[in-house]
């Protein structure tokens, strides 16, 4: 089962500020996914990342969002100018598991609060 | 647009009872996943169902998939308090592992 750590665990920011959320895999993975969960609601797909490129993104993932793998291992999700509605839990999820039965293993998440 | 609906949304049950959570989805898929989420925590992978008729069991939980009916079930046998959590199903319609999650079922098992 792949493991990741996410930093920070909590972040409070002012509306309009930029935030960078980090995902650090324990071992090398090719496929990564970002999801968000607004408090008490369902989990929503944001973007998938394969081999250092975005492979798919949702309507939520607009121009304010970007993802990078700046140093070949860590992943970052950047929100350029945060809005109140960006307040949510953000999860990164590498794909892994038994070959033929792979799934996504969610990291511990970053709780973002935009004031 | 793919819709993934779970019912019930809330479930309060007594310890020792059996119950089933249903996950319906609107578009053809043969890849469905179940997750558990404790309050304030991340999602824990429970089951991977990858074909019609697939059945997986782990402890008091059993999941099944009927792709023709576009339905998955999560059956709880002899519930215990430790099973209290929110359970999500997720569907991958394109084979790209872009998961569309259900609305979630919040389960509370009363001692």
What is the predicted pLDDT for the residue at A2?
64
| Chain B nearest C-alpha distance from A108 (Å) | 5
Summarize pLDDT for A82-113 with one digit per residue, the tens.
Answer: 999 999 999 999 887 777 778 889 999 999 99
| Chain A nearest C-alpha distance from B101 (Å) | 6
DSSP class per residue in A2-58? --EEEE-SEEEE-TT--EEEEEEESS--SEEEEEEE-TTS-EEEEEEEETTEEEEE-
Contacts of A2 in chain B (CB under 8 A): none
Dist. CA A85–CA A81, nearest whole Å: 11
Average pLDDT over every residue of B18-46? 94
Nearest CA in chain B to A91: B42
Could you count the other beta carbons within 10 Å of the beta carbon of residue B32? 28
What is the predicted pLDDT for the residue at A96?
79
Instruction: Flag residues of chain A having pLDDT under 50.
Output: none
Contacts of A91 in chain B (CB under 8 A): 42-43
Tokens of A100: 């033929």
| Chain B nearest C-alpha distance from A45 (Å) | 7
Contacts of A95 in chain B (CB under 8 A): 97
Average pLDDT over every residue of B73-92? 96
Q: Is the pLDDT of residue B1 over 80?
A: no
- Positive/negative CA dihedral, B76, B23, A1, A11: negative
What is the predicted pLDDT for the residue at A1?
63
Dist. CA B13–CA A34, nearest whole Å: 33
Query: Are B97 and A31 within 8 A, CB to CB?
Result: yes
Tokens of B83: 């099973």
Average pLDDT, chain B: 94
- CB-based contact, B96 to chain A, within 8 Å: yes
């Amino acid at each position: 089962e792949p493991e990741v750590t996410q930093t920070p665990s909590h972040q409070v920011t002012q509306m309009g500020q930029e935030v960078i959320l980090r995902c650090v895999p324990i071992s090398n993975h090719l496929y990564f996914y970002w999801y968000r969960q607004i408090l008490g609601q369902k989990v929503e797909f944001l973007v998938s990342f394969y081999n250092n490129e975005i492979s798919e993104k949702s309507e939520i993932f607009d121009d304010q969002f970007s993802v990078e793998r700046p140093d070949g291992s860590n992943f970052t999700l950047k929100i350029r100018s945060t809005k109140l509605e960006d307040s949510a839990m953000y999860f990164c999820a590498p794909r892994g598991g038994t070959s033929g039965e792979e799934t996504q293993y969610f990291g511990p998440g970053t709780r973002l609060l935009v004031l | 647009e793919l819709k993934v609906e779970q019912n019930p949304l809330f479930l309060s049950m007594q310890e020792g009872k059996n119950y089933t959570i249903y996950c319906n989805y609107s578009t053809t898929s043969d890849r469905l996943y179940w997750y558990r989420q404790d309050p304030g925590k991340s999602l824990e992978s429970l089951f991977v169902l990858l074909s019609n008729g697939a059945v997986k069991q782990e402890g008091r939980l059993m999941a099944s998939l009927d792709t023709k009916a576009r339905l998955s079930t999560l059956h709880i046998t002899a519930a215990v308090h430790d099973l209290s959590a929110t359970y999500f199903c997720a569907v991958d319609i394109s084979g790209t592992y872009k998961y569309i999650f259900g609305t979630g079922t919040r389960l509370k098992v009363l001692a």
